[in-house]
Amino acid sequence: MFSGFMVNAWEIGTIVAVVGGVVGFFVVLRGAAFPAHAIPNGAFAGAAGANLLGVNPLIGLGVFSLGAALGIGRLTRRGRADAVTALALVMMLALGAAFLSQSTEYEPEIFSLLFGEILGVSRGQIVPVAVLGAVCVLFVGVLYRRLLLTSLAPEIAAAQGLRPELVDTAFLVVIACATTMTVPVVGALLIFTLMIGPPAAARCFTDRAEIAFALSVAFALVTVWVALACSYVSDWPVGFYVSVFSAAWFAAGRGYLAWRRHTSAPSRPWGSSPDV
């Protein structure tokens, strides 16, 4: 389990978990689950297009996810955010369907783009993923205070001259960056579930932002590690285990919250409503 191709899987899984936990913390805080689903899913069309043109899929993914992030950011200023996100997503998926219809690519490739092939990662893939992952985490580090302020205290953020729509778009670009690096190796599904379940659970366990942030990364790491082990033993897809364990974290978090409310005096977690 700890030799050969599995070493690559452990390494890349760890990188992806850290990025998922870090970015996911803000995805949950900002209620940005839909863009977090739409950008990775739609970006898969970019990979299909790159395949058709014979260029590196990473370029196609990057172009499409960045285009989606900027497009959603731009269109949202004049329309309903969720409707715009839905339309951007279906437009990209439709382009993907058009690309696929023109290429001779066959099904396993589609499957692996959507659901990932973490067990088939080669040494050469680790370096670009690690670099993009570091860029992502760095980006979040730079934006950390602004992201927190605009999510938790919009009034203070406005008073300090922060422009929420710019922070929004910057955050979408972070998601796009995380998407570009992770989709080819772990698939659109896995990164999405990692960005939702563990961070949402983390918020239930503590009132403090820093601790929730750390918990979010820790939960994501445990999720990926256990999922890899289960997948190795059972041969079932990693994505299945990651999504189930992510949901289990969420259920545990909600259960803990309900139990706390039941036993002790009601206390409101920081930020928005705890009813995630």
Partner 1 sequence: MATFLFEPGFFSSGPVHVALVIGAVSAVVTGVVGVFTVLRGQSFAGHALTDVATTGGSASFFYGLTPLLGFLGAGVLGAGAMDLVGVQRLRGRDIATGVVLGVATGVAALYLYLDTTKSATTGAAQQVLFGSIFTLDSSTIPVVAVLSVVTLALIASIYRPLLLSSLSADLAAARGISVRAVGLLFMLALAISVGLSSIAIGSILSTALLIGPAATSLRLTRSLRRAFAFAAVIGVAATWLGVLFAYDSYYWFPSSQGLPVSFFIVLLVFLAYVASGLHPIPRALKRARLDGHAAAAQRVR
Sign of the CA dihedral running 157, 159, 164, 167: negative
Q: Which is nearer to partner 1, 59 or 114 (CB)?
A: 114
DSSP string covering 125-156: HHHHHHHHHHHHHHHHHHHHHHHHHHHH-HHH
User: Using the rule CB under 8 A, which residue among 6, 11, 34, 164 binds partner 1?
Assistant: 34
Amino acid (1-letter code) at residue 3: S
Q: How far is the CB of 219 from partner 1 (least distance, A)?
A: 13
Amino acid (1-letter code) at residue 276: V
Judged by CB under 8 A, does residue 53 bind partner 1?
no
Pick the stretch among 90-98, 123-131, 143-151, 161-169 that binds partner 1 (CB under 8 A): 90-98
Scan for tokens 């993907």, then name that residue.
96
Instruction: Give the span between the Cα atoms of 120 and 153, in whole angstroms.
Output: 44
Judged by CB under 8 A, does residue 85 bind partner 1?
yes
Percent composition of the chain: helix, strand, coil (DSSP 3-state, to 5): 85, 0, 15
Pick the stretch among 55-63, 146-154, 168-176, 245-253 that binds partner 1 (CB under 8 A): 245-253
Judged by CB under 8 A, does residue 37 bind partner 1?
yes
Interacting residue ranges for partner 1, rule: CB under 8 A: 28, 31-34, 36-37, 75, 78-80, 82-87, 89-91, 93-95, 97-98, 100-102, 106-108, 110-111, 114-115, 189, 192-193, 196-197, 200, 236-237, 239-244, 246-247, 250, 254, 272-273, 275-276
